[in-house]
Chain A
C-alpha cells in the first residue's frame, strides 16, 4: 500500500459511527476542558483531532479511554449510549489507546507485556502469544520480534508493538495520542502509513497531533478543537476538494481564528535574514570545553557569541546537546576548558552565581526540572531568586511583592492561568514554557541558552517563543538555541553549529545554502 495524501476512494463513511460523542462537557475546578463537544467517529477513517495545547484534546482522549468521566453529555458506542467507566471497560468495548509515552514495561519482553492483563493464576502460553503477535503484526504490515526486551527497541518500534498489542486485545477503535511527537521523522512517516493500512482494514483511528502536515497527509476527517470547544471540522469531501494547501489554510483559520495568518507567517518566514551582527567582542566565549558523561562525553567545544547574536546548535537528539547546555548553566561539572561571560571566567562558579552574572538557561525539561508542579505559578516565577529582595526581606516572604511580580509577568508574557496561585503543574505545556521564558528573560540577562524552546508546543506558542528569542537577541543578549528542528534554527540563527557525538563538527553562516551544508555535516562527513 502506498502512502497518499488522499483518502481511499471508497472512504464515504459507512452509515453508522463506531463511537459518538454527544454534547460531552468536562469540567475541572476553574476550567471547562471540553464544552459540549459532539463528534462522530466512523470505521475506515483516520480522524484527526487538532488543537493548541490546552484545547482539550487530552481530556477528550481520557474520557474515551475510560480514565475520566464526562461531567455532562454522553458517549455512544455502536449507537448505544453507555458510560465508559474504566480503562478495562474501554478495552472490552474495543477502544484501544496508544499514548505519547510508551506504556510498555521496559524490562519485560513484548510477549510478557502483551500478557500483562492476563489471569495471574495461569502460566502464560508464551509461544501462542508470540505466534498471535507475529500474525497480527503481519496483517498490518509491520514486523515485531516478540521475544525482544522492550527497552532494547526504538521508540518507533515500541509504538508499533503497542498498536499490535491493542489489536490483539480486539481493538477496533484505536486512539493514537500525540503518537508522532517523540518519533524521528522517518518513524513518524512509517506510523502514518501504518494508520492508512489500519483504516483500510475497517478500523477507526483517532490521531491526535499538533503537526498540520501530518494531519493533512494522513487524515480522512479533521476536527479542530479550540479552548475546549469544537470549532470546526473538515469531512473527507472537503479535504479532497480543497487539496493539501487550501486545507492547511482552512485549518489554521479554524485553530487560531483571526491570528491565524500572523501565526502562520511568523513560523513560516524561514530564511528571513536577520540584520547582521556588528559587535566584535564576544559576550559569551567557550574555549576547548570538555564535559564528562557516560554515554556522550562532550569535547572540544569552541564557540564565540557576540551581543545580539543568535547561534543555533543543530544535531540529532542525544549528541551531547543536553550535556553541553547543562555544563554551561552550571548543573554539570566542566572537566576542562573555559567559559567566559563578559570577559570573566565562569566555569567554576555555581549555578546561582552564573545567573547573577547574567547567564540564563531555559531548560527543555519544563516539568521535570524547570518547575515545581505542586507550587503556585507565583513562586515558580521566582524559583531562581528565592531569598532575594524585594520578594524576601531578611529571609521573610513578602507576599505583596511576590504577587505583584507574578501578575506583571503573567500579563507581560501572556501566561494563561486561572490564578497566580494555581499550581504550575496544572498549566498547559505552552503556558509552562511562557512561565519559564518570563523567569529567564527578565532582569539582567546577558546570555541565554534555549534548549529545544518550541519542543511539544503548538503553532501559536511556537511563534510566541521564537519571537521572545529574537527579542532577546535584539535587546543585545548573546543567544544559544539548541534545537533538533532545522527549520527553526534557519529561521532564527545568525550562525549554526552542528553537533555530533559530543563535538561541534562544523559551523556555518546562515545564508542560502546553510541547509545543504548542515545536512552534509549531520550526515557524518566530518565524523
Chain B
C-alpha cells in the first residue's frame, strides 16, 4: 500500500518557534539598520577624501573647515538653517508627486517664476498694505504662480497620458528663460545697473528667529514637510494619491477620479516649488538677479529618494546637504576646492547607499535560504 498519508498538524509549534526567532531578529535588524545608514556616510566621506588627496587638499582640513563653517560657527549654522527653508519646501512638493507616481521635474522653473513674480510684487505692495499681509499675499501668489506653470503638463498627463517627465522638463527650460525675460525687461530695478528686481528691505522680509539671522522660512519648510508627511500617512487624500501611484488601474476600479487627482498632485507639487521661490526671496535674497538659477530641484530629487519619501529622513538629509553646501561655499574661497565638491560628496553617498542596499538585499535573500 503506497497511499501515504502524512498528518498535517503541529502548526502551532512551528509558529511559536518562529516568534522567538523573530523578536531576536528584530533587535539585530535594528542595529543593522543603523549601521546601514551610518556606514555609507562614513564610507562616502572616506572616498571623497581620497579624491581630495588626489586634488592636493588635506581632507581633514577640508571637512573640519566645512563642519566649522556650516555647523559649528554661529553664522554658519544660521546660514545652513536659512537655506533649509526653500529646500524643504521643494522636497515636500517632490514627496507628494513621487508618492502619486508623478515625476514633476519642472521644479526649477516653478521655483524661479514664483521667486521673480514675488520679488517684483513685494516691494510694490509694501506701499499699500502692512508687511505681514504683504508676506502672506506674496507667499500665496508664489505658490499659485508655481502651480500655474504646471498646468500644461498636468492637463496633458491627465487627459492625454503624455509623459510628464518630458513635458515638465520642457516647461522648465521655457520657464527659466521666461523668468529671465521678466527680470531683464519688466521687473527691472531702474535704480541699479545690474539687471535685477528691486530689493526688498530687510525689515520687510520674513521675520528672523530670535536674535539670529535665521529666516523663519525654515519654519515654513519644516511645517510643510511635516504636514505632507502626516497627510500621506494618515489621511484619505494621501491614501488616494498613493493608490494612484501604486496601481492606477485599481484607482480607476475603486472609483477614484485619477485625472482630477493627477491635476491636484501637479498643483500641490508645483505650488510648493513656487512657494519655495517666494520663501527664498522673502527670507533670504530680497531680490532676483537676472540669470540666477540655483537649480535646487534636481539636487533635492536624490535626497528625497534616499529618504524614501519619509518626511523625517528628508529633514535629516536636507540638513546634511545644507551643512555641506554652506560649508563648501566658504571652503571654495578659502581652500580652493570648487563649490561643486558638495555634489561630488552627495553623489558618492548616493552610489554607496545604493550599493549597501543591494548588498543588504542579497544578505537577506541568502539568510532566507
Chain A positions within 8 Å of B, measured between CB atoms, are: 27-28, 30, 32, 35, 68-71, 226-227, 229-235, 237-238, 250, 254, 257, 330-331, 350-352, 355, 361, 363, 365, 368-375, 379, 383-384, 386-387, 392, 395-397
Is B250 in contact with A235, judged by CB distance below 8 angstroms? Answer: no
| Chain A residue with the shortest CB-CB distance to B2 | A235
Q: Which residues of B contact A231 (CB under 8 A)?
A: 5-6, 8
Please measure, in the bound complex, the distance between the C-alpha atom of A372 and the C-alpha atom of B5, giving whole angstroms: 38
A-B contact count (CB 8 A): 97
Pick from B11, B235, B246: contact of A372, CB under 8 Å: B246
B236 touches A233 (CB 8 A): no
From A70, A234, A257, A383, contact of B3 by CB (8 A): A234
Q: Does the CB pair A350–B257 fall under 8 Å?
A: yes
* B-chain residues with CB within 8 Å of residue A395 when the two chains form the complex: 235-237
Looking at the complex, which one of B236, B246, B253, B257 makes contact with A392 (CB distance below 8 Å)?
B236
A232-B5, A234-B3 known; A369 vs B249 contact (CB < 8 Å): yes
Additional A-B contact list (6), CB under 8 Å, known A232-B5, A383-B243: A229-B6, A231-B5, A368-B247, A368-B250, A369-B249, A379-B239
Instruction: Return the CB mask of B123-135 against A: 1 if under 8 Å, else 0.
Output: 0000000000000
CB distance from B253 to the nearest CB of A (A): 4
**Inter-chain contacts of B246 with A (CB < 8 A):** 372, 374-375
Indicate if B369 sits at the interface (CB-CB under 8 A).
Answer: yes
A residues less than 8 Å from B249 (CB atoms): 365, 368-369
Most buried by B among A70, A231, A369: A369
Nearest residue in B to A386 (C-beta to C-beta)? B236
Please determine whether B250 and A238 come into contact, CB atoms closer than 8 angstroms: no
Most central of A350, A361, A379, A395 by chain B CB within 10 Å: A395
B333 within 8 A of A: no
Residues of B near A254 (CB, < 8 A) are 5
Residue of A nearest to B252 (CB): A331
- Tell me the B1-28 residues at the A interface (CB within 8 Å): 2-6, 8, 11, 14, 18
Beta-carbon contact of B6 and A230 below 8 Å: yes
Docked Cα-Cα span, A68 to B368, in Å, equals 10
Name the distance in Å between A423's Cβ and chain B's nearest Cβ. Answer: 11
Q: Does B254 contact A (CB under 8 A)?
A: yes
Query: What class of interface size applies to chain B in its complex with A?
Result: 20 to 34
Expressed in whole angstroms, the Cα–Cα distance for A363 and B3 within the complex equals 40
Shortest CB distance B4–A (Å) = 6
Which chain B residue has the least Cβ–Cβ distance from A380? B250
Q: A68-B369, A371-B250, A397-B236 are in contact. Are A250 and B3 (CB under 8 A)?
A: yes
Please name the residue on chain A nearest to B253 by beta carbon. Answer: A369
Complex A-B: 10 CB contacts under 8 Å: A70-B369, A71-B368, A226-B8, A232-B4, A350-B255, A365-B249, A369-B252, A371-B247, A397-B235, A397-B236
Tell me whether B239 and A227 are in contact (CB under 8 A): no
* A397, closest chain B residue (CB): B234
Interchain nearest-CB distance for B325 vs A (Å): 35
Q: Which residue of B lies closest to A399 (CB)?
A: B234
Distance in angstroms between the alpha carbons of A234 and B6 in the assembled complex:
13
- With contacts A369-B250, A395-B235, A396-B234 taken as known, whether A28 is within 8 angstroms of B255 at the C-beta atoms is no
Task: Give the nearest-CB partner of B248 in chain A.
Answer: A369
Query: What is the CA–CA distance of A276 and B18 in the complex, to the nearest angstrom?
Result: 53
Which residues from A are CB-within-8-Å of B240? 386-387
Q: Which residues of chain A are near B255, meaning CB under 8 Å?
A: 330, 350-352, 355, 384
> Per-residue 0/1 for B209-245: is the Cβ within 8 Å of any A Cβ (1 yes, 0 no)?
0000000000000000000000000111101101100
Give the nearest-CB partner of B8 in chain A.
Answer: A229
Question: A371 contacts which chain B residues (CB < 8 A)?
Answer: 247, 250
In contact, A32 and B237 (Cβ under 8 angstroms): no
Residues of B within 8 A of A397 (CB): 234-236, 239
Q: Report yes or no: B237 in contact with A373, Cβ–Cβ below 8 A.
A: no
Smallest CB-CB separation from A354: which chain B residue?
A: B255
Report the Cα distance A28→B365, complex, angstroms.
10
Given contacts A369-B249, A374-B246, A397-B235, contact A383 B254 (CB under 8 A): yes
For B250, the chain A residues whose CB sits under 8 A away are 368-372, 383
A361 to B250, CA, bound (A): 13
**B-chain residues with CB within 8 Å of residue A355 when the two chains form the complex:** 255
Which chain B residue has the least Cβ–Cβ distance from A237?
B2
Please indicate the chain B residues that have their CB under 8 angstroms from the CB of A227 in the complex: 8, 11
A-contacting residues, B310-339, CB 8 Å: none
What chain A residues lie within 8 Å of B242 (beta carbons)?
A: 375
Q: Contact: A384 with B2, CB < 8 Å?
A: no
Which chain B residues lie closer than 8 Å to A368 at the CB level? 247, 249-250
Task: Given the known inter-chain contacts A375-B246, A379-B239, A396-B234, please indicate yes or no for A232 contacting B3, CB distance below 8 A.
Answer: yes
Q: Nearest CB to that of B257 among chain A residues?
A: A350
- Please indicate the chain B residues that have their CB under 8 angstroms from the CB of A35 in the complex: 14
CB-CB under 8 A for A32 and B14, given A27-B368, A229-B8, A395-B235: yes
Cα A286 to Cα B100 in complex, Å, equals: 36
Interface residues in B175-218 by Cβ distance below 8 A to A read: none
Contact B8 A372 (CB under 8 A): no
Can you name the residue of chain A whose Cβ is closest to the Cβ of B14? A32
> Residue B239 contacts which of A230, A235, A386 (CB distance < 8 angstroms)?
A386
Residues of B within 8 A of A365 (CB): 249
- What residues on B are CB-neighbors of A230 within 8 Å? 6
How distant is the Cα of A386 from the Cα of B249 in the complex, in angstroms?
16
Smallest Cβ-Cβ distance to A355: which chain B residue: B255
* Interface pair B2/A238, CB less than 8 Å apart: yes
Most A CB within 10 A of own CB, among B6, B246, B257: B6
- Residues from chain B with a CB closer than 8 A to the CB of A238 are 2-3
Q: For B247, list chain A residues within 8 Å (CB).
A: 368-369, 371-373
Report Cα–Cα, A365/B247, bound state, in Å: 13
The CA of A227 and the CA of B18, in the complex, are separated in Å by: 17
Cβ contact within 8 Å between B6 and A386:
no
Shortest CB-to-CB span from A451 to chain B, Å, is 11
Q: Is the CB of A384 within 8 A of B234?
A: no
Cβ of B259 to closest chain A Cβ, rounded Å: 12
The closest CB in chain B to the CB of A232 belongs to: B5
Q: Give the chain A neighbours of B235 by CB distance below 8 A.
A: 392, 395-397
**B245 shortest CB reach to chain A, Å:** 10
Known: A237-B2, A372-B247, A397-B236. A363 touches B8 (CB 8 A): no
Which chain A positions have C-beta within 8 A of B6?
Answer: 229-232
CA distance A355 to B255 in the complex (A): 9
Q: Which residue from chain A places its CB closest to the CB of B236 in the assembled complex?
A: A387
Distance in angstroms between the alpha carbons of A184 and B243 in the assembled complex: 35
In the assembled complex, the Cα of A231 lies from the Cα of B368 at a distance in Å of 25
A-contact bits for B345-369, CB 8 A (1 contact / 0 none): 0000000000000000000000011
**Nearest CB in chain A: distance from B19 CB, A:** 10
> Is A71's CB under 8 angstroms from B252's CB?
no
A386 CB contacts on chain B under 8 angstroms:
236, 239-240, 243, 254, 256
Q: Are A69 and B369 in contact (CB under 8 A)?
A: yes
A12 → chain B closest CB, angstroms? 13
| Nearest CB of chain B from residue A210's CB, rounded to whole Å | 19
Question: Of residues 249 to 288 in B, which have CB atoms within 8 Å of A's CB atoms?
Answer: 249-250, 252-257
Pick the 6 closest A-B CB pairs, nearest first: A351-B255, A352-B255, A387-B236, A69-B369, A369-B253, A369-B249
Residues of A within 8 A of B18 (CB): 30
Q: How far is the CA of A70 from the CA of B246 in the complex (A)?
A: 31
Instruction: Give CA–CA (A257, B355) in the complex, Å.
Output: 49
Contacts of A32 in B (CB 8 A): 14
Residue picked from B11, B242, B369, most chain A C-beta under 10 Å: B369
- CB B168 to nearest CB in A, in angstroms, measures 25
Task: Report how far A28 CA is from B369 CA in the complex, Å.
Answer: 9
B17 to chain A, nearest CB (A): 11
- Quote the shortest CB–CB distance from A307 to chain B (angstroms): 24
A276 to chain B, nearest CB (A): 34
